[in-house]
Amino acid sequence: MPIVRFLLPDGTEQALDVAVGVSLMEAARQEGIEGIVAECGGGAICGTCHVHLQKDCFDRVEPAGMTESALLQIVPDASETSRLSCQIIMSEDLADMCVRVPAVQLEL
Ligand code: FES
């Protein structure tokens, strides 16, 4: 399975095996990654699964849709490589990607 590294707000890192076809949010929730709350269950309407991608990873992911793009305008601590982890579906092309969980996610 492809591996995704989650960089956590406390500076630690957690590597997850993520099955192809599973969203990053689902994988993070299954493994109890702190800061990935996913209140809406993957509907791209809550923003509580926000992560920052490394630039090279960001360029490999399918572009955000209209709903996700709109929400990324208002999530706290957004950056140019922000994405909703519920909208990133794992594929072999995304193996070894690295995502950072914003510290502000721990306050939601
Ligand atoms: Fe709600 Fe991703 S889980 S926007």
On whether the CB atoms of residues 23 and 99 are closer than 8 A, the answer is no
CA-nearest residue, atom 4 of ligand 1: 44
**In angstroms, what is the span from residue 68 Cα to ligand 1's centroid?**
9
10-residue block means of pLDDT along the chain (108 residues)?
94 96 98 96 97 94 96 96 98 94 88
Here the tokens at position 92 are: 């072999």
38 lines ligand 1 (CB under 6 A): yes
**For position 40, what pLDDT does the model report?**
97
**For position 105, what pLDDT does the model report?**
86
**pTM as predicted:** 0.95
DSSP 14: E
42 lines ligand 1 (CB under 6 A): yes
48 lines ligand 1 (CB under 6 A): yes
Q: Name the residue ranges covered by the structural domains of the chain.
A: 3-100
Task: Please name the CATH architecture into which domain 3-100 falls.
Answer: Roll (3.10)
**In angstroms, what is the span from residue 56 Cα to ligand 1's centroid?**
23
